[in-house]
Amino acid sequence: MSELRFVHLGFGADAVEYQQAWQKQRETHAARFTDEIPDTCLLMEHPAVYTAGRRTEDSERPLDGTPVVDVDRGGKITWHGPGQLVGYPILKLPRPVDVIAHVRRLEEALIRACAELGLETTRIEGRSGVWVLGDPLEQRPAIGGLSLDFDPRLTDEEFDPRLNGPEYAPSNAGQRREDRKLAAIGIRIAKGVTMHGFAINCDPDNTWFDRIVPCGIRDAGVTSLSNELGRRVAVAEVVPLVEKHLREVLVEEAPSPRAVDPKPEPVPATAG
């Protein structure tokens, strides 16, 4: 990639309705496919909305009947709303398309942005997104009673074995207190061009996540930059950092695609 432009669609009082942003994504995707525009990242906030990927189960939706927008990305249900920076990178990927490499690059840019704010984050094996690790086992409080620990590598249908390797912390597998997701990633690739993207929690009201099973993950929590850093971290503070590191990762460090498997398995989009 030789160029990446950023388009600010609206923040705060000018937050963009999800359906309007989705249509803007489609238009941008079509223009990028025909090379009318360079790679483009749309940045914005949304008014509060739940969106559900193709694999969302009924049991993961809001129990109170709150409306949900069903979308064409991979993964399951999540929330977008005030205090959360949402980015939709519309990029033409090198062929053969490598979905996981794209996810890793988005994760890397967000991890670097968090580090610049003073927060250490990581990946967790089998799960997309950016995470803050829970406390180690030896630091768990002794609460008594029966404790049941389940290894998500065996029980979590969202666990993706392709999301493994030295870039990823070992799954908590019952060995830590609750890991906390800071940023979610959900993508779709059509005609070699990406859609959807990431959402990083800056200073949202995280109680919105209490109504759903975020990303279909039941053994981890959700956090924000404000919660972790102990001060208010506004979306406006995070935007230039995310732009800086997305440009570094997507333009300056674009990886070569993996070698083609002579009998490749289907590669669904991933999200969380």
Residues annotated as catalytic (active site), given as ranges: 215
What CA–CA distances, in Å, run from 183 to 32, 70, 108, 180?
26, 20, 11, 9
Amino acid present at 25: Q
Contact 60, 216 (CB under 8 A): yes
C-alpha angle with apex 223: 10 to 165, nearest 5 degrees? Answer: 100
Residues 6+ apart with CB under 8 A from 125: 153, 163, 164, 165, 168, 169, 170, 171
